[in-house]
Amino acid sequence: MIVGLVELALILGVLGLLVFGGLALWRALQREAGGAGRLPSGPRAELAAAIARARWAPAHDEVDGVTRVLVRRAYTGLDGRPVVLEERVMETFPAQDPAWEALFTEAMSKARFRCSYLNTEEDP
């Protein structure tokens, strides 16, 4: 009789440890999945304000031998780096074009004008 009670106590103890360990693992996974992308309310408010202040700015780059002139809507992230929300290509032309400088100057002028217009439209 006593041996049976000891065995039952051991089985219940092992089951209890398994349940406790499973719950601990479940909570850790939930915390990792839910908490990794969530910011506390203070930084979340800062981020929301930064996004609300996002502005359009002209930009350019070269991709596969083609110069792209574009406009980007960006804000400064909490880490101090720019974060691009939206990007629109305005014009493209070959990077080796003999008239590259004239094309670039004209395209950037159009991009600056477009940014000015877009920023004005978004201001309250």
Residues of the chain with pLDDT below 50 are none
Look up residue 38 and give its DSSP letter.
Answer: P
Tokens of residue 100, six digits: 């590259």
Whole-number pLDDT of residue 48: 86
pLDDT for the residue 41: 77
Paired residues of 87 in beta bridges: 72
Distance of alpha carbon 51 from alpha carbon 75, whole angstroms? 6
Q: Hey, where are the domains in the chain? A: 1-38, 41-122
Write out the E strands in 1-124. 55-63, 66-76, 82-94
Cα–chain center distance at 43: 14
Give residue 21's pLDDT: 83
| Confidence (pTM) | 0.63
Q: Among 84, 82, 57, which residue's Cα sits nearest to residue 69?
A: 57
Residue 34 is predicted with a pLDDT of 56
pLDDT for 37 equals 59
